[in-house]
A and B are shown apart, each in its own frame.
Chain A
Amino acid sequence: LSTSSLLFRWTIIALCAFAMVGSLPNVAFAAHSGQANSGTPDNAAHYIDRHGLANDTQNLAVNHGIAELNRSYMNATVNGSGDVDIYDDFYGASGEWDSTFGITNCQDWTFLHVHCDVYRVRYNLTYAAGFTTNQWWSLGAHELGHTAGMGHRTAASDSDNNSCMRSAASALRPNFDGHDIDAINDIL
């Protein structure tokens, strides 16, 4: 191959490589402000995929979570796919799942790690299977609240004790409060 041909190929490789490097997660540690923080969604449309969910997860957690999201500017629906993958299982009560009812993380980030493209939500039936309806609602809205970009609320920032975004799921707090809705709308 001639030098110029080699240069041409290296240019293409370099451009591809740059794109790959750019798509890697950055290493900045997300700050916490008591409300919306890391992992904000890439847009307001929220297409939710359900993967073999138990009846209560589907009917109580997910449906309620979607209804709560739709009180904000978000447009969450199960009629489509690609934004939130939801799973459940009896994950157990040890290791990673010790004292953990649900986990949400960002599975795919947009270019340069700016927003979350696809979230992964997992509900732990080991704890949740015995839940009352209000507890399920609290957990369901809580995890889907994270997919709207919200972090946890503290007792101090939820002094009227009515936000499901506190770190503990509670039957007393099944819904977003007005502060949560404002936080989502600010994110979008």
Chain B
Amino acid sequence: MTETDSQRRKTTFLSVLPAKSRVALLVVAIVTMGLVIWAQSDRTRFPDEPSEEYFTSGGREFQSLGELAASSSLVVKATVVDVGRGATVAYDDGSGAKFTQRVVTLDVIQTFYVRDDAKSVDRIELWDGYWEDGVGFAREDVPWIDIGATGYFFVHTAGISGQFSLVGDGRVLITKDGVLIAGDPVLWGPSLSNERDVKSALLDAVDAAKSGSAKPVPYEVCHPSDPNDENSKPICEEKE
């Protein structure tokens, strides 16, 4: 087959389409290409809304709000003043996993509880994040919050300066319709539907933590006795 034959065959293939269809096809192609470029941009790779939930398993099971408060470094009312992209952490476990923080900065409006080993602060940072492909994720039952969101937060220091993390699902947002309790609402009771009731329950919990009638729920943190052998006997210490 000569080049001329080949060219003629392609021409014949498309020439069966009416001119209007060819133009429409071209428009579709251009729009689709535009979508591809947009889809690969930071707007979708690091979106404003999470597209996935992930699942965690923790070991601290709180039997009362008092235990939740006693296990917290701080119990505060706070409002979100800024949201931005934070540090990226890569793991060397072979998974190729990377985690980029979505840092949520909150101004503290009121502090209800400061544990003995903590100190009061005016501002806290919490975070959600993005997987290595830029897909935003949220922990199950703890949706992302944005600037202006206000609520009550049970937090403790997360080992990174200035940053905190929620203790359990310790977050109650104030909404125009009432309140939005993160996670399993069992600790709060079934009838809490407004801020006044939430605050009342929270104050009772804080009183229990302050008086010592509610205790922190302990947990163990371990490291291998041989840093190069994860099967070596672990050395564990109990924390609260």
Contacts and interface: CB of A to CB of B under 8 A. Distances in A.
A79 interface: no
A90 B224 CA distance: 8
By size class, the interface of chain B is 35 or more
15 contacts: A4-B10, A4-B13, A25-B52, A27-B47, A27-B51, A90-B230, A96-B99, A98-B156, A100-B57, A125-B230, A127-B59, A127-B221, A129-B230, A135-B59, A166-B61
A101 B58 contact: yes
Contacts of B33: 13-14, 17
A105 B222 contact: no
A11 B58 contact: no
B219 A127 contact: yes
| Pairs A-B, 9 closest by C-beta atoms | A94-B159, A129-B234, A14-B29, A10-B29, A130-B236, A168-B61, A129-B222, A4-B14, A105-B54
A164 B49 CA distance: 30
Contacts of B55: 103-105, 143, 146, 151-152
A45 interface: no
Given A95-B158, A130-B222, A156-B184, A24 B44 contact: yes
Nearest to A125: B230
Contacts of A2: 7, 11
A101 B222 contact: no
Interface in A133-161: 135, 139, 142-143, 146, 151-152, 154-156
